[in-house]
């Protein structure tokens, strides 16, 4: 029987800690669904104690996403652990991950505790987690800068209290493959009770070593890897899921045929989805999922490829999801064929949604010569984003014009609370002018924090996917839209973000009114 490595995905927790990667709850659910299609074993859905919004997002993922373990992160405080339990309790398979720092610098300067006090805090935390769930992970934050004997003591204590997984994080991306292997072997040899415990590794990429360290750790006995899609995460990021999975697959000769449950053909669609949802582009030369990962430019390489692909290709683009469609759709495809394509791509939609999507697809075939799988995924996601939630502000019409002097004018007609209103705006580009016109109509002051435009495919007639992030007061709201016209998509996504802000304000006002009535 081949060994198996558990894939623990932390895109929605550590990944979301990437500067600027904040996702709203609907986006997180969409990513979680795709992670389930991809075949990850565990998702760390968030840090429920961080805010009521985080708790709600984890709770919704736990309730709505099936086929995997949903886990919440908690410091050792009971407040955090109780929040994590509240969030994950309805999952098909729920788990809690608790952590505390173990390096001298963290213990002395951050926690201001003694090493023995930290061990007692770890014990109490694991015990509390165990009162809620059977699967408990304990992490020693900054393990790679900790004293090895101390690590063995704290892991033994956590195991005694019932931890089922112990994690050895390289929190600051400091270790190197040989050293990390030695540490793992030391912990395995010197921690009482570790024999039946899953050893997990969690690496950061500060020195660009996250994937190398993770793969080295597997050779030293780690059987769970904590990874993110596209390697997003705190600072330089976390270990990239796609690199570890394809490393194991491609070099199975070195890794004793160790398997994962990942369907590698879902890697590229998942990478695209995460990039669109977070607004963090994938660098073109990124291994596996970058646009150039399978592009051969040099003449010698192209010549070799034409003679035999294996001259320069160690894995095929199709094996990681760059595959072009099996079912080719076009202008004349019917609703049944379109639905079959959705099923092939992993979507099951209601009758009504199918009709909406089909209408958008047919409209797209008028504007675009070839409609690829990526185009269809983009319109499905766009639709899934929109269907949920109330609509306070809606776009009715718009126009925008540029001139050679750089001055742009725009006009928009919006329906706000059922009433049509019109405004004009000027700006240094069409998008700027349109946003100025929208701002004149809404009674909030949105501050645009982020605007990310990405082509869904590489052709000149590609759809553009636009993600906007606006700040209204202390809260940040996102909008996302696709269209063959990036000005239209930019406007649409901005209005979606503002709509979310207005809906949130209306619901707060409603809550306050209910509370007043109750008093
Ligand atoms: O990097 C780290 O140490 C973490 C822990 C919470 C596991 O993210
Ligand atoms: Zn981390």
> Distance between CA 316 and CA 332 in Å, rounded?
31
Angle at 433 between CA 432 and CA 439, to 5 degrees: 85
- How far, in Å, from the CA of 32 to the mean position of ligand 2? 19
Q: What is the mean pLDDT of residues 207-220?
A: 98
Look at residue 387 in the predicted model and tell me its pLDDT.
59
Residues with CB under 6 A from ligand 1: 14, 99, 139, 141, 167, 169, 171, 202, 204
- How far, in Å, from the CA of 99 to the mean position of ligand 1? 8
Q: Is the pLDDT of residue 21 over 90?
A: no
Q: What is the mean pLDDT of residues 447-472?
A: 84
Look at residue 55 in the predicted model and tell me its pLDDT.
97
Q: What is the mean pLDDT of residues 418-438?
A: 96
Long-range Cβ contacts of 344-352 (<8 Å, 24+ apart): 345/269, 345/373, 345/376, 345/377, 345/380, 346/34, 346/37, 346/266, 347/380, 349/380
Q: Is the pLDDT of residue 124 over 80?
A: yes
pLDDT band at 300 (very low <50, low <70, confident <90, very high): low
Q: Are 200 and 168 in contact (CB under 8 A)?
A: yes
Look at residue 181 in the predicted model and tell me its pLDDT.
98
- How far, in Å, from the CA of 171 to the mean position of ligand 2? 5
Look at residue 310 in the predicted model and tell me its pLDDT.
80
Q: Is the pLDDT of residue 323 over 90?
A: no
Convert 336-359 to b/e letters by CB count within 10 Å (16 or more is b). eebbebbeebbbebeeebbeebbe
Residue with tokens 């894995």: 315
Give the ligand whose atoms come closest to the C-alpha of residue 144.
Answer: 1
Look at residue 79 in the predicted model and tell me its pLDDT.
98
Of the listed ranges 165-169, 201-205, 274-278, 341-345, the one predicted with least confidence: 341-345
> Distance between CA 198 and CA 97 in Å, rounded?
13
Query: To test ligand 1's pocket by mutation, which of 77, 136, 169 has the most ligand atoms within 8 angstroms of CB?
Result: 169
Look at residue 326 in the predicted model and tell me its pLDDT.
53
Structure tokens at 434: 């349109």
Look at residue 519 in the predicted model and tell me its pLDDT.
63
Q: What is the mean pLDDT of residues 20-28?
A: 84
Structure tokens at 196: 């039946």
Q: Please list the residues that pair with 447 across neighbouring strands.
A: 471
The percent of residues in the chain predicted with pLDDT above 70, rounded, is 94
Index of the ligand 1 atom closest to the CA of residue 172: 1
Query: To test ligand 1's pocket by mutation, which of 15, 99, 173 has the most ligand atoms within 8 angstroms of CB?
Result: 99
Look at residue 516 in the predicted model and tell me its pLDDT.
73
> Distance between CA 458 and CA 30 in Å, rounded?
24
Look at residue 378 in the predicted model and tell me its pLDDT.
81
Q: What letter would DSSP give residue 117?
A: H
Give the ligand whose atoms come closest to the C-alpha of residue 99.
Answer: 1
Q: Is the pLDDT of residue 2 over 70?
A: no
Structure tokens at 91: 């999952």
Q: What is the mean pLDDT of residues 427-442?
A: 96
Index of the ligand 1 atom closest to the CA of residue 169: 3
Of the listed ranges 32-46, 113-127, 170-184, 475-489, the one predicted with least confidence: 475-489
Look at residue 218 in the predicted model and tell me its pLDDT.
98
Index of the ligand 1 atom closest to the CA of residue 10: 8
Give every CB contact of residue 273 below 8 A, 6+ residues apart in sequence. Answer: 30, 31, 34, 377, 381
> Distance between CA 227 and CA 270 in Å, rounded?
13
Residue nearest ligand 1's atom 5 by CA: 141
Mean pLDDT, the chain, rounded, equals: 91
> Distance between CA 5 and CA 245 in Å, rounded?
10
Both ends of the chain: CA-CA distance in Å? 64
Mapped onto helix, strand or coil, the DSSP state of residue 200 is: strand
- How far, in Å, from the CA of 106 to the mean position of ligand 1? 13
Burial of residue 504 (number of CB atoms within 10 Å: 0-12, 13-18, 19+)? middle
pLDDT digits (tens, 9 = 90+) for 32-62: 999 999 999 999 999 999 999 999 999 999 9
- How far, in Å, from the CA of 220 to the mean position of ligand 1? 20
Q: Is the pLDDT of residue 479 over 60?
A: yes
Look at residue 299 in the predicted model and tell me its pLDDT.
64
The percent of residues in the chain predicted with pLDDT above 90, rounded, is 67
What is the dihedral angle through the alpha carbons of 30, 6, 42, 95, rounded to the nearest 10 degrees?
180
Structure tokens at 503: 């809906």
Q: Parallel, antiparallel, or unpaired: how do β-strands 224-227 and 198-203 relate?
A: parallel
Look at residue 377 in the predicted model and tell me its pLDDT.
80
- How far, in Å, from the CA of 245 to the mean position of ligand 2? 19
Look at residue 198 in the predicted model and tell me its pLDDT.
98
Look at residue 296 in the predicted model and tell me its pLDDT.
66
- How far, in Å, from the CA of 115 to the mean position of ligand 1? 19
Residue with tokens 């049944």: 336
> Distance between CA 41 and CA 35 in Å, rounded?
9
pTM above 0.75, yes or no: yes
Index of the ligand 1 atom closest to the CA of residue 13: 8
What is the dihedral angle through the alpha carbons of 54, 481, 507, 449, rounded to the nearest 10 degrees?
70
> Distance between CA 310 and CA 18 in Å, rounded?
36
Spatial CA neighbour of 387 closest among 357, 359, 417, 363: 357
Residue nearest ligand 1's atom 2 by CA: 171
- Comparing 311 with 28, the larger pLDDT belongs to 28
pLDDT band at 5 (very low <50, low <70, confident <90, very high): very high
Q: What is the mean pLDDT of residues 269-273?
A: 90
- How far, in Å, from the CA of 477 to the mean position of ligand 2? 25
Q: What is the mean pLDDT of residues 488-495?
A: 95
Q: Are 273 and 31 in contact (CB under 8 A)?
A: yes
pLDDT digits (tens, 9 = 90+) for 391-401: 899 999 999 99
Q: What letter would DSSP give residue 309?
A: G
CA 487 from centroid of its chain's CA atoms: 26
> Distance between CA 199 and CA 217 in Å, rounded?
9
> Distance between CA 483 and CA 464 in Å, rounded?
6
> Distance between CA 437 and CA 409 in Å, rounded?
9
Q: Note the helical H segments in 77-209.
A: 78-88, 104-105, 115-130, 148-160, 177-190
Residue nearest ligand 1's atom 1 by CA: 171
> Distance between CA 291 and CA 409 in Å, rounded?
35
Look at residue 397 in the predicted model and tell me its pLDDT.
97
> Distance between CA 274 and CA 284 in Å, rounded?
15
- Comparing 49 with 388, the larger pLDDT belongs to 49
Look at residue 445 in the predicted model and tell me its pLDDT.
93
Q: Is the pLDDT of residue 458 over 70?
A: no
Look at residue 460 in the predicted model and tell me its pLDDT.
73
Look at residue 207 in the predicted model and tell me its pLDDT.
98
Structure tokens at 374: 């990526």
């Amino acid at each position: 029987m081949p060994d198996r490595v558990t894939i623990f995905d932390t895109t929605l927790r550590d990944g979301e800690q990437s500067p600027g990667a904040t996702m709203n709850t609907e986006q997180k659910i969409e990513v979680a669904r795709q992670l389930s299609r991809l075949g990850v074993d565990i998702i760390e859905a968030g840090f429920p104690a961080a805010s009521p919004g985080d708790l709600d997002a984890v709770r919704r993922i736990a309730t709505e996403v099936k086929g995997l373990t949903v886990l919440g992160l908690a410091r050792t405080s009971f407040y955090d652990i109780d929040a994590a339990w509240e969030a994950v309790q309805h999952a098909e398979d729920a788990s809690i991950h608790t952590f505390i720092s173990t390096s001298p610098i963290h213990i002395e300067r951050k926690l201001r505790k003694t090493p023995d006090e930290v061990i007692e805090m770890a014990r109490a935390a694991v015990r509390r987690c165990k009162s809620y769930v059977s699967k408990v992970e304990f992490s020693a934050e900054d393990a790679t800068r900790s004293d090895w004997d101390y690590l063995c003591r704290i892991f033994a204590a956590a195991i005694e209290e019932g931890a089922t997984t112990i994690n050895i994080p390289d929190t600051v991306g400091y270790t190197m493959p040989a050293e990390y292997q030695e540490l793992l072997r030391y912990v395995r040899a010197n921690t009482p009770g570790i024999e039946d415990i899953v050893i997990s590794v969690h690496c950061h990429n500060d020195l660009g070593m996250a994937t190398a360290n993770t793969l080295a750790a597997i050779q030293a006995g780690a059987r769970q890897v904590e990874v993110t899609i596209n390697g997003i995460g705190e600072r330089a990021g976390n270990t990239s899921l796609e690199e570890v999975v394809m490393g194991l697959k491609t070099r199975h000769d070195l890794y004793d045929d160790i398997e994962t449950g990942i369907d590698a053909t879902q890697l590229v669609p998942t990478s695209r989805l995460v990039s669109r949802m977070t607004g963090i582009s994938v660098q073109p030369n990124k291994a596996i999922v970058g646009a150039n990962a399978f592009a051969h430019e040099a003449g010698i390489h192209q010549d070799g490829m034409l003679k035999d692909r294996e001259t320069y290709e160690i894995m095929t683009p199709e094996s990681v999801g760059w595959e072009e469609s099996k079912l080719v759709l076009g202008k004349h495809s019917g609703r049944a064929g379109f639905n079959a394509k959705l099923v092939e791509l992993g979507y099951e939609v209601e009758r009504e949604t199918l009709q909406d999507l089909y209408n958008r697809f047919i409209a797209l075939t008028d504007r675009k010569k070839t409609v690829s799988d990526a185009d269809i995924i983009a319109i499905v996601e766009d639709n899934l984003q929109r269907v949920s939630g109330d609509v306070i502000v809606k776009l009715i019409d718009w126009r925008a014009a540029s001139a050679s002097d750089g001055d742009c004018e725009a006009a928009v007609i919006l329906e706000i609370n059922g009433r049509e209103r019109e405004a004009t705006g000027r700006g240094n580009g069409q998008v700027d002018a349109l946003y100025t016109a929208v701002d004149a109509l809404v009674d909030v002051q949105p501050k645009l924090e982020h605007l990310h435009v990405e082509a869904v495919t590489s052709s000149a007639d590609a759809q553009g996917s636009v993600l906007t992030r606006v700040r209204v007061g202390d809260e940040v709201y996102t909008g996302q839209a696709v269209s063959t016209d990036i000005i239209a998509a930019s406007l649409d996504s901005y209005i979606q973000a503002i709509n979310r802000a207005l809906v949130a304000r209306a619901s707060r006002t409603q809550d306050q009114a209910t509370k007043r009535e109750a008093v």
